Structure 1
Amino acid sequence: MNVKRIAVAGLVAAGVVASGTVLASPASADTTSYLPGSGNWPVLRQGQTSENVRALQWFLSCEGYDQPAPSHFGPKTRANVHAFQQRYLTSQDGNVGAHTWRALLTTHTAPVGYGQRNNCVKGLQVLLNKWRYSDDLPISGYHGPRTKKKLIRFQSGHGLPATGTVDLRTYQKLTYTPAGK
C-alpha cells in the first residue's frame, strides 16, 4: 500500500515538474505576517481601510495595476492583488501578507530614490505620513528634500541606518510599526 502511495506521489511530482505548473495549496494563502529574513508585515484583506491599504494601492498602481487609491481594500484592489500574485507568487488568494509585501516591494520597476517622481514614491509618502512629526508630506510622488528628511528621521528613530534610501527593512518598519511608535 505504501509503495502505491509513493509511486503516485512520484508521478504527480514528476508531472508538476515536467509541466512547469506550481500547485498552490490552501496553506499557501498569503495570510502569514512573518517571513524569516524580512520580519513581520501587516496582513491586509478585502474590507479593510487604512494607510497601509492606501500605500498598497499606490504600489500596485506603480506596478501597472491601475486603480484609485481611496484607502479602502475593495473588490478592485483585491482583483489587482490577485493579478499581481498570479504573476509573481504561487499564492493567489487576494490577501496581502508577508509574501506579497516582499514581492511587491522588491519587484517594482519604478525607483523610489532621491529625485524620482512616480506612484511608488506616493506609496512611500503615505507610509511616512503615518508618523506625523508635525510635517505631513504632500502626496506628490516626488522624492525631494522633504521626503528624504522625513525618511531619515523615521529611519534614525526606528533603529535603521539613516541613509535616506528606502530598502526592504525600512518598508517593513513603515508598514508594521503602529503609527506614533
Structure 2
Amino acid sequence: MKEGSSGYRVTGLQHLLNAHGAKLDVDGQFGAGTRTAVVNFQKSKGLDADGIVGPNTWQALITTVQSGSTGNAVKAAQSLLNAHGAKLTVDGDFGAGTRDATVAFQKAQDLDADGIVGPNTWKALVD
C-alpha cells in the first residue's frame, strides 16, 4: 500500500498506526498524513522509510490480539474482519463477538481456529 491507496486495508493500517502512537483520522484513504505516519513508524523501527507499506512494515505493525485485548490494534482486527463479512462494532474491545468472528474467519481460511489474531491471521485478513 502507498499514497493513493484506499479501502479496508488502509482502514486497518490506520488503526494499527494509531496503535503505535499515530493520531490519524481513520478514513480508509492513504493520504499525506497516513504517508507521514508510515514514514515515522518505519524510521522508528529502523526500516527503509519510503512511505510504502510492504511486508517488512506490515510485520512490524502487527500486534497479536485476543480475548481481553483492547485498543487500536483490536479496532484494526475488527475492521478487517468486517471487510470479510463479520458484523462487529469497531469499539476496540476484543470480546466474545470478536473472538467468534475471528474463529469463523480462521476456519474459512483453513487456519488454526484459536480465536487469536496473530501473524497468520493478520496476513490472511490483509491479503
Detail structure 1 runs of 4+ shifted over 6 Å in the superposition: none
Report how many aligned residue pairs link the two structures. 127
CA-CA distance at 1:145 after TM superposition:
0.6
Normalising by structure 2, we get a TM-score of: 0.96
Which residue does the alignment assign to 1:131? 84
* 1:81-105 superposed Cα distances (whole Å, 9 cap, x missing partner): 0000001133110010111000111
Asked if 1 retains the 8 angstrom alpha-carbon contact of 2:47 and 2:57, the reply is no
Question: Where does 1:1-181 land on structure 2 (aligned, <5 Å)?
Answer: 44-105=1-62, 108=63, 112-132=65-85, 135-176=86-127
Q: Distance in 2 between matches of 1:118 and 1:164?
A: 17
- Residue type of the partner of 1:91? D
Normalising by structure 1, we get a TM-score of: 0.68
Structure 1, unmatched stretches of 5+, are 1-43, 177-181
CA-CA distance at 1:130 after TM superposition:
1.2
Query: Rg larger in 1 or in 2?
Result: 1
CA-CA distance at 1:69 after TM superposition:
0.3
- Residue type of the partner of 2:33? K
User: Partner of 1:122: helix, strand, or coil?
Assistant: helix
